[in-house]
Chain A
Amino acid sequence: MTQPVSGPITLDELQSWLVERVGEYVPDLDEKVDPNQELGEYGLDSVAVVAFAADVEDWLGIRVEPSAVWDHPTVTQLAKFLLTEREQQAA
């Protein structure tokens, strides 16, 4: 399991971590995960994102609803959202 991250994190780090996770969920993908592609197109449908959101929770140590992935369906969008969310939930 992923070790929770503590301390500050950059948008880039967040983004590459998400890209890595998506890769794990789609083990037989033979291309690089495009951060601007919708996750649903990688097979991370509305049901699969439930576990995905939980992974993100574990790593960032904040509450993340699966609907966050519905609202921010690409890695780029999700990373931006999560960064703000982490700052706010830490505050």
Chain B
Amino acid sequence: MRRAEFVREVDRWSKPDGPFDAALLTAYDDAESFPGAACAVLDRWGLPAYYVPAQYGGRLARFDEMHALLRKVASEDVTVAVAHGKTFLGAASVWVSGDDGAAAQLARHVMAGEAVAWGLTEPDRGSDLLAGELTATRDASGWCLSGRKWPVNNATRGRFVCVLARTDPGGGARGFSVFLVDKQAASSGSVRHLPKMPTHGIRGADISGVEFRDTHVPADALIGTVGGGLELVLKALQLTRMACAALSLGAGDHALRLARRFLSERRLHGRPFSDLPHARGVAGRAVARLLLAEAVSYAAARAAHEVPEELSVVSAITKALVPTLIQGQLRLVGELLGARGFLTGVEGYGGFAKIERDHQVVSIFDGSTWVNRSALASSLPILRPGRRPATAAGRPVHEWLRQDADLTPVDPLRLGVMARGNTVLNSLDDSVARLAADPRGGADHLATRLLDAFGEVGGDIARLRPVAGPVPTATMRLAERYEWCFAGAAALALWGANPKHHDRHVWREALWLRGCLALVLEGLGAPAPEATGVFDELGRLLLSDEGTHVSLFGTSSEVSA
């Protein structure tokens, strides 16, 4: 219910002179200044409560709901979503630690609107978590922090910063611990802010740094155990990577709005531009990419509730694939808009360049596509078909992917660093069989092709021998094929789980499913020639009355939470 209300509010704020007025946000972007007014109305509405798990008094009971809210913000402005949503990222390590005292305390601050930053990266250390040099050493009544974190989102504006610090000079997997630092409580002069970095995207965001100079923090600033930092951060990343996917989806929504408007307004040689089959095909591909990204994110959000043990793999796939899908979607929309997308003075369309710039950053933070794909690649040997399932069979996928399904409450203690199975992907056989029993629009043929392709991927995984050190290129490519298979399996499982929707617009004749499977098969290097017409159909859909909000489950406002 509040979700529908939120959508209406954001739409209202986006009107001229509102805090989300595109002209205003563009001006902030040009001036590289923080979109404070937009963040303030989100605070007043109570969005921060959705960053706090229900068990600590917040409203975060379902990830799909929280992601829908972030997606809505991002569909107006990615920078605002990054600037505000960052607090969830900063706090996630505390939520997954199971440290109820620390979590309850932080919950109160977050709900009061305090921003929390997440300090992982350090100057010149890249994305290697274990390369950090910021140290924490015990002192008489707690810990003493010394070193820098940079670049960090909200490092300056956030009252709290959650840092990964070296607690064993020798480092290693047990040499790091997480600390939650209240900058307000630190003695004056011991915390210095490093200046905001000019960036190509999310220019208004507070991308700066923080330096601790023998900063004393109390003993209870330690989150979890001494030496437990890596594990904690790896688990927190599983949750935050899925939230990043919501930002991508929002960027995709925004781009599709521009594409729709352009196609309906633009005329070429006296005829509507949308009469050109090429234009429709490009638009249709952009639609398919968004819907496939949505299917993956939707399945992942629910997997967090039902199979959290598998989230290390599911979240890596999501973070590698979703931003990549949307980046490709933005390229397609850019192709359609042509020069208009980059002329800042053209009303409406000028915003396109900003979406593309802002979104590029989403692909990078919380682990780039490469980082996530290598993590997946290292886990592939464990995921080979036929390896004994180590987790007991839980609820079937087709049950928990049903739109109105009740979800198992999130249990952070079930998160792990090694997934022993992949329930969504393993449901592929079953989903294909269900579709064969009730074939629609020819989607069953595409599904069978996917099953064959997955068989080949499985064979390649079985032959894989893990090696230490950097992941070989061939293994990275195999991981990418595995991601496509997962995406196809997620789409098919969603189809099978929601027969009630089969006669609704984008579901009719399995339109969205065919579009998604066609993309997946292309990604797997096994394109289905008979499927190319589906992009034209999706292009027409975008131009129809139903094209105003392209989404598997309708506009967020139609969905009552």
Contact = CB atoms under 8 A, between A and B. Distances in A.
B289 to A, nearest CB: 29
A70 B379 contact: no
A20 B226 CA distance: 32
B231 A43 contact: no
Nearest to B386: A1
Contact of B230 (A46, A57, A58): A46
Contacts of B390: 57, 63
A57 B230 CA distance: 22
Contact of A47 (B378, B382, B388, B416): B378
A38 to B, nearest CB: 8
A66 B468 contact: no
Contacts of A65: 416-418
Contacts of B15: none
A66 B418 contact: yes
Given A57-B390, A67-B231, A70-B172, A51 B417 contact: no
Interface in A25-53: 25-27, 38, 40, 42-53
Given A46-B130, A51-B381, A71 B174 contact: yes
B183 to A, nearest CB: 29
B12 interface: no
B382 A48 contact: no
B172 A50 contact: no
Interface size band for A: 20 to 34
Interface in B119-140: 130
B165 interface: no
Contact of B466 (A38, A48, A63, A66): A48
Interface residues of B, number: 25
B379 A51 contact: yes
A50 B382 contact: yes
B174 A24 contact: no
A81 B436 CA distance: 50
Contacts of A45: 130, 468
A50 B468 contact: no
Contact of A52 (B173, B375, B466): B466
B423 interface: no
Max count, chain B CB within 10 A of own CB: residue among A54, A63, A65? A54
Contacts of A38: 172
Interface string A65-89: 1110111010000000000000000
Contacts of B388: 58
Contacts of B266: none
A48 B468 contact: yes
A25 to B, nearest CB: 4
Nearest to B469: A43
Contacts of A40: 172-173
B218 to A, nearest CB: 27
Contacts of A54: 381-382, 387, 418, 420
B468 A43 contact: yes
Contact of B417 (A25, A42, A63, A66): A66
B174 A25 contact: no
Contacts of B174: 70-71
Contacts of A58: 387-388
A51 B416 contact: no
Interface string B447-478: 00000000000000000011111000000000
Contacts of A67: 173, 231, 417
Nearest to B172: A40
Given A67-B231, A73-B172, A50 B378 contact: yes
17 contacts: A25-B466, A27-B467, A43-B468, A44-B468, A46-B230, A50-B418, A51-B378, A51-B379, A51-B382, A54-B381, A54-B387, A58-B387, A63-B390, A67-B173, A67-B417, A71-B174, A73-B173
Given A46-B173, A48-B469, 5 more contacts: A25-B467, A46-B130, A54-B381, A54-B382, A70-B230
Q: List 9 tightest A-B contacts by C-beta distance, closest first.
A: A43-B468, A70-B173, A51-B466, A54-B382, A43-B469, A46-B173, A25-B468, A51-B381, A44-B468
